[in-house]
Amino acid sequence: MTFPEKPQALPARAEFSSGPCPKRPGWSLTAVAEKAWLGRSHRASGPKAQLKQVIDLTATLLGVPEGYKVGIVPASDTGAFEMAMWSMLGARPVDMLAWESFGAGWATDATKQLKLDDCRVITAEYGVLPDFAQVRTADADICFTQNGTTSGAKIPNFDWIPDDRAGLTFVDATSAAFAQDIDWAKVDVLTFSWQKVMGGEGGHGVLILSPRAVERLESYVPPRPLPKIFRLTKGGKLIEGVFKGETINTPSMLCVADALDALEWVEGLGGVAATRARADANFAAIQSWVDATDWVENLVADPAARSNTSVCLSVVDPAVAALDDAGQRAFVKKMVTMLEKEGAALDINGYRDAPAGLRIWCGATVDTADVEALTPWLDWAFAAAKAELASA
């Protein structure tokens, strides 16, 4: 069997995981540790001030409007989004939008766990967005992912949401925040985690509430028991401490210091405009290669809906496409294994529930030069795996 010749240059950093994502360029554990209040209570004055610093800098960099609340909560983006759902849904009709794994998970929560009375689930296949015209935007609460981390499909804009809506919008922005625009006038609840575009650590979520969301929390008592870590009110009033650095459960102060390091990096670049530009440049590099390569396509056909962070690719070569699902997954796994062994790319297999394919993180902490260095290796791995397939 003849294998194709390997490329000469490796990416300087081969981490292309979609979560936890690569650390920022120049990241240093020593520098982070020097900022961290290790061995101290998170309720002491210094650690509490650092938590508030992370909250305030997050709000400033994301352009969160005056009157909105920003809090740090447990259990990553999942904890933040489920906290919002369990605390607020049920007051009015609900439309759940699902076009990838995490949106489907929220829909399951709403229908199977919360068992909401008037709840519709509007779905689309991986790589496609649902029909927003079906959404009851005037009167229903709406839950959706801004960017489908497992499908590579993002909403092009928020224009389909009316300003004068009666319901609340719940936006899972975990792989969109700091890389895509957020139309705050259309957002009531927004969640994300440090581990995505910021390149921070997992286990902590960020929850952002509009004044309308706060009003819902203070006026609606859900007909279900709430675990302690989901409780955002006491005596009918918002627990303000959550949004001032008094976290519901004990945070990792090393992770908090790491989040501060990431935010200061964003600030030093020039803010969200700069981090979005980095993600856009990374996406442009991978997509230009896709456009010039006949064996691969972006899973998302509509250019306006293509993610600039979690880029999902399908192997469309006829010999591979003719395989059954198990065969296609085995082919992609062979490619991924080859690339990892060579140190060219780490953690780029598609999400387990998504169609067989590659998923390459192009968020702001990735350098475009590394994306450009990766593409010849993708061609090499494909040719090598196809040679094995032909000889089998």
- Of 268, 299, 321, which marks where a domain is finished? 268
Nearest Cα to Cα of residue 346 among 330, 356, 360: 360
In this structure, the answer to whether residues 258 and 283 fall within a common structural domain is no
Nearest Cα to Cα of residue 146 among 305, 35, 341: 305
- pLDDT tens, position by position, 232-269: 999 999 999 999 999 999 999 999 999 999 999 999 99
In this structure, the answer to whether residues 252 and 103 fall within a common structural domain is yes
In this structure, the answer to whether residues 140 and 206 fall within a common structural domain is yes
CATH of the domain at 287: 3.90.1150.10
Cβ contacts of residue 275 below 8 Å, gap of 6+? Answer: 178, 179, 197, 266, 269, 364
Structure tokens at 109: 């929560």
pLDDT at 4: 78
In this structure, the answer to whether residues 166 and 301 fall within a common structural domain is no
Structure tokens at 38: 């290790």
In this structure, the answer to whether residues 239 and 295 fall within a common structural domain is no
pLDDT at 123: 98
- Going through 271-356 in order, the beta strands assigned E by DSSP cover 296-298, 310-315
- pLDDT tens, position by position, 281-337: 999 999 999 999 999 999 999 999 999 999 999 999 999 999 999 999 999 999 999
Q: What is the dihedral of CA 129, 133, 139, 144, to 10 degrees?
A: 0
- Of 239, 268, 297, which marks where a domain is finished? 268
Residue 3 confidence (pLDDT) above 70: no
In this structure, the answer to whether residues 206 and 329 fall within a common structural domain is no
In this structure, the answer to whether residues 278 and 232 fall within a common structural domain is no
| DSSP calls for 30-81 | HHHHHH--TTS-TTSHHHHHHHHHHHHHHHHHHTPPTT-EEEEEESHHHHHH
The percent of residues above 70 in pLDDT, for the chain, comes to: 99
In this structure, the answer to whether residues 199 and 231 fall within a common structural domain is yes
Interior/surface letters 254-277, b for 16+ CB within 10 angstroms, e for the rest? bbbbbbbbbbebbeeeeebebbbe
Cβ contacts of residue 216 below 8 Å, gap of 6+? Answer: 88, 91, 168, 188
Kindly state whether residue 17 falls inside one of the protein's structural domains.
no
Residue 383 confidence (pLDDT) above 80: yes
CATH of the domain at 257: 3.40.640.10
**What is the total count of domains within the chain?**
2
Quick one: three-class SS letters along 174-192?
Answer: CCCCCCCCCCHHHCCEEEE
Q: Look at the pTM and tell me if it is higher than 0.75.
A: yes
Kindly report the number of other CB atoms within 10 A of residue 340's CB atom: 16
3: DSSP letter: P
Kindly state whether residue 15 falls inside one of the protein's structural domains.
no
- pLDDT tens, position by position, 52-111: 999 999 999 999 999 999 999 999 999 999 999 999 999 999 999 999 999 999 999 999
Kindly state whether residue 4 falls inside one of the protein's structural domains.
no
Residue 2 confidence (pLDDT) above 90: no
Kindly state whether residue 318 falls inside one of the protein's structural domains.
yes
In this structure, the answer to whether residues 248 and 311 fall within a common structural domain is no
Cβ contacts of residue 130 below 8 Å, gap of 6+? Answer: 97, 98, 99, 122, 123, 124
Kindly state whether residue 214 falls inside one of the protein's structural domains.
yes
- pLDDT tens, position by position, 354-375: 999 999 999 999 999 999 999 9
pLDDT at 392: 79
- Of 237, 268, 299, which marks where a domain is finished? 268
Kindly state whether residue 209 falls inside one of the protein's structural domains.
yes
Nearest Cα to Cα of residue 53 among 266, 256, 274: 256
Biggest CA-to-CA distance, the chain: 72
What domain range includes position 324?
271-391
Q: How far apart are CA 346 and CA 199, in angstroms?
A: 15
- The helices-and-strands tally (H runs, E runs) of the chain is 10, 12
- State mean pLDDT over 182-210: 98
| C-alpha to C-alpha distances, 58 to 193, 239, 245, 332, 359, nearest whole angstrom | 11, 20, 12, 38, 27
In this structure, the answer to whether residues 215 and 358 fall within a common structural domain is no
In this structure, the answer to whether residues 234 and 248 fall within a common structural domain is yes
Kindly state whether residue 21 falls inside one of the protein's structural domains.
no
In this structure, the answer to whether residues 227 and 202 fall within a common structural domain is yes
Q: How far apart are CA 21 and CA 15, in angstroms?
A: 8
Strand ranges of the sheet holding 169-172, from the earlier edge strand across to the other edge: 69-74, 204-209, 189-193, 169-172, 141-145, 94-98, 119-123
Kindly state whether residue 84 falls inside one of the protein's structural domains.
yes
- pLDDT tens, position by position, 24-40: 999 999 999 999 999 99
